[in-house]
Structures are given as C-alpha cells and as structure tokens.
Amino acid sequence: MSWPDRIDQLLRRLKWPAAWLSLASTPLLVWGLLKLLLRILPSPLGLLPFVLGTVGFIVVWRRFLRTSRMGRFAMTLEHESTHALFALLCMHRIVGFRASVGRGGEVRFTGKGNWLITAAPYFFPTAAILLFLIAYVLPFPGLPWQSFLLGVALGYHVVSTYRETTRDQPDIQQLGTKFCWMFLPAANLAVVSLLIAFAYGRASEMNQWLSDLSQPVRLLISSMWRLASAT
C-alpha cells in the first residue's frame, strides 16, 4: 500500500472521531474566544486595522466584486488551491487543475482522497494563513499584513465560506450535512480565534489564548484526580 493510500485510510477511520471531538470542543473554543475579546475590549485600537480589513473586504465584495468575473474567479481559484494544497499534504500527486467562472473548478489527483481534502476550503483560510506565517516568521512589527491585510484575508475567507457552504455544494453532499455541522464550526472558531489573537498581540496573545483553552481541561483533570485519590 502506498503512503497516500495509508494516509487516506487513516483519515477515513478518524473522520467521525474528529467530528465528535470538534463538537465537544466547540464550547471550549467559544470560551477561549470570549476571554480573548474581553481582553481586547479595554484597549481595542490595536485590533482596529484588522477589523477594518475584514469589514472593508466584505463591503467591497458586496458592492463591487460579487457580480464581477474577477471576484468570482478569485473565489474559485482560492477554493481549488486549498483542495490542491491538502491533497499535496496528504502526499497525492496533482494531475489536473481548473479554475474558471463559467465552468467552475476542479482538482484531480492520484488516489482516492479523503474527507480532509474535501473539507479544507470550508475551514482553512489559505490566504490568511499564508500572511500569518509570513508575519510570524519575519521580525518586522507594524507591517501592513500583520493587521490590515490579515483582516482582508479573513474577510475573504468569511465571504467564500458563506457562499460555498450550501446543501447543493457537491463537497458538502460528499462530506454529509451531519459531519459538517459537527466539524466545521469548531474548526472555523479555532482558525478565526488564532488570527484575532495574533493580529492583536502576536505570539504573547496566542500563548494566552492557548492557555485559556487548556485551563478548563486542566481543572477537569485536576478535579477527577482529586476525586480518584479521595476514593
């Protein structure tokens, strides 16, 4: 069995465990996002460029890009590129790629594929994550992509996810509506919270967000340990 087939087989087995884990972690992710927003509230100006980028893109999309061929082509291109990226990460070889306005898009690769490749565009903001990685690696604070452009990229993801997450979408039908409702909200909450934390306070705020997520888990484990010790 080839490595791509092994990865596909493993991910097929993990599909529903991943869905249930995502569903169980949704309240925890909401908790972490609320704590993050409460820290931002006393001093929100640091997040203003990020918010302006996000809201600005959504407004520009609704007023100008929604009906343009360029806007629709960009959405299709990013969607199919995300499928292709995850196919490559799962060690599949890309043998065909198409992104167009009239005919839609398609990615063809060797092997059968898996649910992660199918679901990727609906939770993974490729453009935003790329900007995040560049901003994280380059030690130049204050550059536009660390705030405004990162917000633009997030706005792009919000618009594309809203447009494409419908019952008639072949990807959604392939994944199953139940799985999508269990997996995608938590996955999007995690990505959005990560980007907000980085835009506001870089690595220190990201670490605090991760600490907030782990705090209830640590308390639960500690309580269970004390209860077990008492008995």
Per-residue pLDDT of the chain (231 residues; tens, 9 = 90+): 789 999 999 999 999 999 999 999 999 999 999 999 999 999 998 899 999 999 999 999 988 888 888 888 888 888 999 999 999 999 999 999 988 877 778 999 999 999 999 999 999 999 888 888 887 777 565 565 578 888 998 999 999 888 888 877 889 999 999 999 999 999 999 999 999 999 898 889 999 999 998 887 777 677 777 776 766
Residue type (1 letter), 1:
M
How many structural domains comprise the chain? 1
Q: Model pTM?
A: 0.89
Q: Among residues 29, 3, 8, 1, which one has the least CA distance to residue 184?
A: 29
What pLDDT, on the 0 to 100 scale, is given for residue 175?
A: 95
Give the CA diameter of the chain.
68
Domain that holds residue 193: 3-230
Cβ 225 vs Cβ 65: under 8 Å: no
H or E stretch including 105?
strand 105-109
Handedness of CA 56, 54, 141, 38 (dihedral sign): positive
H or E stretch including 96?
strand 94-99
